[in-house]
Amino acid sequence: MSEVLVQSVMVALFVAFAILFMGRSGIRTKLRDYHDEIGAPRVAEMLDCDFCLSFWMCIAVVVVLWLFDIKVSPMLLFTVPPLVRIIL
């Protein structure tokens, strides 16, 4: 199996778990309400959109992996958000 495919599936599963956890625990709602209060409606809208949130969380996960010197493909930024959207 291709290494990029395995990495895509693993990152997609992790990001989907994180989004579901944020939704169930109320963190996502609190973040959205906070950004509405401070006057950042675009960020609040992004927190409501699963596809947008999965894209930005994918970027965050890939950056953290790069910081820990784990070799991941930059193609993950394009393949993971649609996978996360399918999983959710």
Are 80 and 11 a contacting pair, CB within 8 Å? yes
Residue 2: per-residue pLDDT: 80
Q: Which residue, 65, 82, 84, 85, is CA-closest to 73? A: 65
CA 88 to chain centre: 11
Average pLDDT for the chain? 85
Whether the predicted model's global pTM rises above the 0.75 cut: yes
Percentage of the chain exceeding pLDDT 90: 18
Q: Residue 10 pLDDT more than 80?
A: yes
pLDDT tens, 37-68? 988 888 888 888 888 888 888 888 888 888 88
Task: Give the start-to-end residue ranges of the domains of the chain.
Answer: 3-87
